[in-house]
Amino acid sequence: MSRIKTFNLPDLGEGLTEGEILAWLVKVGDTIELNQPIVEVETAKAAVEIPAKWAGQVQAIHHPEGATVEVGTPIIAIDTDPGAGPLEAPSTTATPSDDLPTPSAASLAAVEVAPAEGMIEPGLIGGAAPGGRTAVLVGYGPRTTAAKRRPRKGAVPAQAEAPVTPAPVAPQPVTPEPVRNGIGGPVTGGLVLAKPPVRKLAKDLGVDLSTLTGSGPLGSITREDVQQAASGSVAAAEPVAVTSTATSAASFGADREQRIPVKGVRKLTAENMSRSAFTAPHVTEFLTVDVTRAMKALERLRGRREWRDVRVSPLLLVAKAVLLAVKRHPMVNSTWAGDEIVVKEYVNLGIAAATERGLIVPNVKDAGRLSLRELADALNGLVQTAKSGRTSPADMSGGTLTITNVGVFGVDTGTPILPPGESAILAFGAVREMPWVHKGKVKARQVTTLGLSFDHRIIDGELGSKFLRDIGDFLADPEAALLAWT
Amino acid sequence: MAKGDPGGTTRSRRAAPRSKKGATGDPELVQLLTPEGERIDSATGPDGTEYRVDFTDEEYRGLYRDLVLVRKLDAEATALQRQGELGLWASLLGQEAAQVGSGRALRTQDMAFPTYREHGVLYCRGIDPIMPLGLFRGVDQGGWDPNEFKFNMYTIVIGAQTLHATGYAMGITMDGKVGTDDGEAAIAYFGDGATSQGDVNEAFVWASVFNAPLVFFCQNNQYAISEPLERQTRVPLYQRAAGFGFPGVRVDGNDVLASYAVTRTALDNARHGQGPSLIEAYTYRMGAHTTSDDPTRYRIASEVESWQAKDPILRVKAFLEKQQIADAAFFAEVDEQARREAVHLRERVLTMPDPEPVTMFDNVYPNGSPLLDEQRAQFNSYMESFEGSAH
């Protein structure tokens, strides 16, 4: 047993993990008595004085005042026999805490104490690593950060330099003990176990409980046993077929889970969507529109010579519809700024794009000033840039209103979430041939559903509905809308 | 309510006095030894009962020894907690007289139901003071035999033991062990905070209507952890007994002689079939509620100082000195005995073996149970899966 004893900071109050050293009441070289206050420590619960665990001479103080120390960390070393002459070599005295009771080998709570070299100034006696296990500080669990699990039999050793040949362990079947009745010895013949409601049922049905063999816990008689007996089908209850191997083999643990770090575009998307969803009160409205005329107009457009080299998609018409509708309802192109609403005269039209990096929303700057051809070129360029992963941050900032083209994924519509700072976003669904009433008859028509989410702080139902209706009107009859509005 | 107060008509009923001093400093305190160490021959309780004690010099010295030893062992346990050897400790500092006085008033056949702070009563019952330390170290369940020592296990649930005691006391009556000088009685310990618990009020009702031979011994130490007494009651606690139909008395809980006298009288009344009574031992918890809290966050220093002047041990020492019942050699000898026993306690705590984890399954049922046996077997095979396991 060493004469140098190291005192580790204990858990001073039921589950604490650390404490702050407020003041040392002793210094190196002081002679101290048992239970003499040596240090004042403040924890989350209380500021307390710690009395010395041993009498002797203070050999080392490991942490200055003001330091925050984890529970289980050495804070002071005491020479318990300072009169016995010079100290032995460090290598033979370096077993702090060896005065504590030796923990039983089977102690579950056994913990490896973190090596203490780093804590103690080099060269000081008592500074060597505790190395092996030490007794657990009584309380609620030692520091988990330094805890190492005891090696399991047959487990691959964690440290390569210390290989352990796992001893083969034969699986030991658990032999169930004889059934007992919980408070006494084994159930004997004369005793019939059944709950009072079951006894009542048996009495009502005229079943003699003593003639039955119970299928319940501890051989007790269940409601089903009584009912079977009463209905005459006293055949032995068939064991319930349980595919136990299948069930037990199915693992629902980490080996069948994948963990993906949240970073980059995913992280940004998550932050933006949560922020928007929980700050802007969203309203979503839907409108189903017959776009047959618009599709025909697109065809005519594609047939024109000056549009020959341009990719023309339904999204172009939707974008045009949105831009024209914004002119008629400028309030939808705005930002909620807390104590004021910023209505913008320019429209930076965002287009949500699915890329390999994730969802990005580049925007066409000042889209409202562009001709249809310029708009088409801009949209195409924006999509190409996004697909190739070269979208710049400038392309993605400053958006004022967004279209998300969920139709390309074959779905009808959605309830989009506003990009932060914007007040309206339009979901454009798939264009499908559907039975539709056209001029009094049901005909196959090309139909789509529009979904518009808007910020109700700025846009009331009336404005939102008019805006959506105008987009729908344009898509229903583009030529007429253009004539009427421009 | 002052005389002639025009607004006082609705509060002039005398049945429920609500004097301002009521809950905090009552003049009707039964006291036989003043804080200065002056003996008072006899004191009268609110119902006219005369209280007095007649001790030999040897007995006076014995009480002093009890008080000093109990305080020293308690201080050692607190130090052991601070040194990481106990998970928790509930100190009795300041309440030694209430515990030693009532504990010594118990007769052999009387049964006590403690809280988790009754280390002084435990000591008086002849139980090895190491026992509760095993409990607070987390290596055993306490370990004493409640039937052998007539001292139940520590009860952590606030107030629950008052119901256990009531049931036990009702059992005494059913066994026909009341009505004589060697009849039995029970005593239930609890604190001021527990009086707000439903359990305690139910115990009052049952003990009262069944005339159970039970003494409710409330150590009013002024704080329910951090809640002061005025958040527990609007009348002095001992007056609550009247509403339940049995007598109540407030005693100076820092006066070991008065605590003894009042408890002995209440127990004797109970064993003679007079039914339950409530004792409010007016005292002060000088330390923390447990080692996990910091009383300086909810008490002011001047209040603590005012109670230091009423210390339960200093007044006995002053009395012994004035009456020349004890000399300096005696005091030194007691101090030395206390120091020796504290060191002995420490040595034994440090060598307490950690229990085998599997022993947690023992003592749940006297003869086991299938579910528990299954769990034990599972746990055993789990433990065997570790390298170096002895199994």
Q: What is the structure's pLDDT at B258?
A: 98
User: Across the interface, do B82 and A51 touch by the CB < 8 Å criterion?
Assistant: yes
Each residue of A407-431: pLDDT tens digit? 888 899 999 999 999 999 999 999 9
Question: Are residues B337 and B377 part of one domain?
Answer: no
Interface of A with B in 370-409 (CB under 8 A): none
Question: Are residues B384 and B365 part of one domain?
Answer: yes
What six digits make up the tokens of A64?
Answer: 């200055």
Question: Are residues B249 and B109 part of one domain?
Answer: yes
Q: What is the structure's pLDDT at A1?
A: 54
> Does B166 reside within a domain?
yes
B352 touches chain A (CB under 8 A): yes
DSSP state of A424: E
Q: What is the structure's pLDDT at A386?
A: 84
> Does B20 reside within a domain?
no
> Does B113 reside within a domain?
yes
Question: Are residues B368 and B246 part of one domain?
Answer: no
- Single out the residue of B193, B118, B200 nearest to residue B154, CA to CA: B118
pLDDT at residue B163 above 60? yes
Question: Are residues B364 and B333 part of one domain?
Answer: no
Lowest mean pLDDT among A40-44, A147-151, B107-111, B219-223: A147-151
Q: What is the structure's pLDDT at A357?
A: 74
Question: Are residues B248 and B306 part of one domain?
Answer: yes
Q: What is the structure's pLDDT at B390?
A: 57
Q: What is the structure's pLDDT at A111?
A: 37
pLDDT at residue B108 above 90? yes
Domain boundaries, chain A: 4-134, 264-485
pLDDT at residue A131 above 50? no
Q: What is the structure's pLDDT at B297?
A: 87
| Neighbour tally for A51: CB within 10 Å | 22
Question: Are residues B374 and B266 part of one domain?
Answer: no
User: Across the interface, do A47 and B296 touch by the CB < 8 Å criterion?
Assistant: yes
Higher-confidence position of A47 and B11 = A47
Q: What is the structure's pLDDT at A88?
A: 60
- Grouping H, G, I as helix, E, B as strand and the rest as coil, residue B217 is strand
pLDDT at residue B24 above 50? no
Backbone dihedral angles phi then psi of residue B361, each to the nearest 5 degrees:
-85, -15
Which domain does B391 fall in, by range?
360-391
What six digits make up the tokens of A285?
Answer: 């409205």
Question: Are residues B182 and B56 part of one domain?
Answer: yes
CA B372 from chain centre, in angstroms, equals 35
| Neighbour tally for B257: CB within 10 Å | 26
> Does B7 reside within a domain?
no
Each residue of A214-271: pLDDT tens digit? 888 888 899 999 988 888 744 444 444 444 444 456 678 777 888 888 877 788 888 8
Report the mean per-residue pLDDT for chain B. 91
Report the mean per-residue pLDDT for chain A. 78
DSSP state of A54: S
> For a pLDDT cut of 70, what percent of chain A falls above it?
75
CATH fold group of domain A264-485: Chloramphenicol Acetyltransferase (3.30.559)
Chain B CB contacts of A152 under 8 Å are 385-387
> Does B118 reside within a domain?
yes
pLDDT at residue A319 above 90? yes
Q: Judge contact between B220 and B229, C-beta under 8 A.
A: yes
Each residue of B25-66: pLDDT tens digit? 445 799 999 999 999 999 999 989 999 999 999 999 999 999
Q: What is the structure's pLDDT at B136?
A: 96
Each residue of A68-100: pLDDT tens digit? 999 999 999 999 998 887 776 544 444 444 444
Question: Are residues B364 and B339 part of one domain?
Answer: no
> Does B17 reside within a domain?
no
User: Across the interface, do B296 and A101 touch by the CB < 8 Å criterion?
Assistant: no
- Domain spanning A4-134: which CATH class is it, in words? mainly beta
Q: What is the structure's pLDDT at A161?
A: 46
Q: What is the structure's pLDDT at A168?
A: 47
Interface of A with B in 172-211 (CB under 8 A): 172, 174-177, 179-180, 182-185
pLDDT at residue A454 above 80? yes
Q: Flag whether the ipTM exceeds 0.90.
A: no
CA-based nearest distance B79→chain A, Å: 6
Q: Judge contact between A120 and A127, C-beta under 8 A.
A: yes
Chain A residue nearest residue B372, CA to CA: A182
CB burial class (10 A; 0-12, 13-18, 19+) of residue B355?
Answer: middle
- Single out the residue of A113, A116, A114, A112 nearest to residue A149, CA to CA: A112
> What is the rounded distance in angstroms from the CA atom of residue A381 to the CA atom of residue A359?
17
A53 touches chain B (CB under 8 A): yes
Question: Are residues B109 and B128 part of one domain?
Answer: yes
Contacts of B347 (CB under 8 A, 6+ apart): none
DSSP state of A136: P
pLDDT at residue A272 above 90? no
Lowest mean pLDDT among A289-293, A399-403, A478-482, B258-262: A478-482
Question: Are residues B364 and B342 part of one domain?
Answer: no
User: Across the interface, do B83 and A7 touch by the CB < 8 Å criterion?
Assistant: yes
Q: How many domains does chain B have?
A: 2
> Does B4 reside within a domain?
no
Interface of A with B in 72-131 (CB under 8 A): 99-101, 103-108
Chain B residue nearest residue A12, CA to CA: B82
CATH code at position B88: 3.40.50.970
pLDDT at residue B100 above 50? yes
